[in-house]
Amino acid sequence: MAGMTDIERGSDSHDPKRRRRRRRSRRRAQGAPEEGQKSQKAESSGSSGSSGTTGDEDKGRGRRKSGNRDGSGNRRRSASQRSNQRGNQRNAQQKRRSPANSRMVTRDETSAGGLVVSGLAEAVNDAGEVDLSRVYVALIGRLDRRGRLLWSMPKGHVEPGEDRRATAEREVWEETGVHGKTFADLGVIDYWFVSEGVRIHKTVHHHLLRFVDGGLNDEDPEVTEVSWIPVSELIEHLAYADERKLARTAHDLLPELAREEKAAGRATPR
């Protein structure tokens, strides 16, 4: 070491702290671990060896603790997932066993009916204004399963080869006891229902009928009650929404039809 005397070198060589620093410097330069690091590694390896387990065993223990994999390493399914899979398998088996012709049979049916109207000409005053509270229509009432009386328009099945207007006149007479003559179309309703295992699409044509003669009766076994209802109260009487729409159409049509009846000199038979 340049610049140092022999005495200074001798004192430096006999200083233990300086000797240890020089040894550490040489080890760092050569890449060797220091004494403190060696002891730490020895302690860590000794502690792991004392536990009696290897690194691979620790990894295996970690998988077992997770609880979401089986012995083969596959992810375990929950009880709900297994139940859903069994249900899907049963549904697939039932679909394979079901024949192609097991679907419900569908049939189309056509009916006709409507409102027989009384008092059209008489409801028109000299100024041409129409009072719908003086115009009456015949409705039928039927009891439902809960014992409620539900009011509706008379109607029935169109026979083979029968004109729909003729059906409306016949059905109105059979269900109310009143004869009427169709003179205007009111509207069409269609709906679906199931009867005796058959899915039926029914289309019903409704008409307005001019009162001719007859008296109300409930002789039809399917009818509980028959009544004349003022047109001004018609909407609130009808039980079914689709028929209430037709009643609103009747409200729009009847004033002009009443004026035509009066202009033609027709009077309601008494």
Structural domain boundaries in the chain: 113-264
Distance between CA 111 and CA 113 in Å, rounded? Answer: 7
Q: Is 60 left (phi over 0), alpha (psi -120 to 50) or beta?
A: alpha
Q: Which residues contact 28 (CB under 8 A, 6 or more apart)?
A: 34
Higher pLDDT, 12 or 88: 88
Task: Give whole-number Cα distances, 201 to 108, 204, 248, in Å.
Answer: 5, 10, 24
102, pLDDT greater than 60: no
* Percent of the chain scoring above 70 in pLDDT: 66
Q: At 53, is the pLDDT very low, low, confident or very high (cuts 50, 70, 90)? A: very low
> Model confidence over 156-208: pLDDT tens digits?
999 999 999 999 999 999 999 999 999 999 999 999 999 989 999 999 999 99
Fold of 113-264: Nucleoside Triphosphate Pyrophosphohydrolase (3.90.79)
Q: Which residues contact 152 (CB under 8 A, 6 or more apart)?
A: 139, 140, 141, 142, 238, 239, 240, 243
> Model confidence over 30-49: pLDDT tens digits?
655 544 454 444 444 444 44
CB 165 within 8 A of CB 158: no
> Model confidence over 207-238: pLDDT tens digits?
999 999 999 998 889 899 999 999 999 999 99
Question: What pLDDT shows up at residue 169?
Answer: 98
What does the block give as tokens for 129? 């204004």
Distance between CA 99 and CA 219 in Å, rounded? Answer: 46
- As a whole number, mean pLDDT of residues 63-77 equals 52
Q: At 66, is the pLDDT very low, low, confident or very high (cuts 50, 70, 90)? A: very low
Question: What pLDDT shows up at residue 47?
Answer: 45
- The pLDDT mean for the chain works out to 80
How far does CA 219 lie from the centroid of its chain? 42
Distance between CA 233 and CA 239 in Å, rounded? Answer: 13
H/E segment holding residue 104: none
Question: What pLDDT shows up at residue 152?
Answer: 98
Higher pLDDT, 130 or 43: 130
90, pLDDT greater than 80: no
Find where tokens 């509207």 sit. 187
What is the rounded end-to-end Cα distance, in angstroms, of the chain? 146
Helix, strand, coil shares of the chain, percent, nearest 5, are 45, 30, 25
> Model confidence over 138-157: pLDDT tens digits?
999 999 999 999 999 999 99
Question: What pLDDT shows up at residue 86?
Answer: 73
Instruction: Report the DSSP beta bridge partners of residue 198.
Output: 105, 195
Task: Give whole-number Cα distances, 234 to 63, 225, 237, in Å.
Answer: 76, 16, 5
Q: At 125, is the pLDDT very low, low, confident or very high (cuts 50, 70, 90)? A: very high
The structure's pTM equals 0.62
Question: What pLDDT shows up at residue 61?
Answer: 46
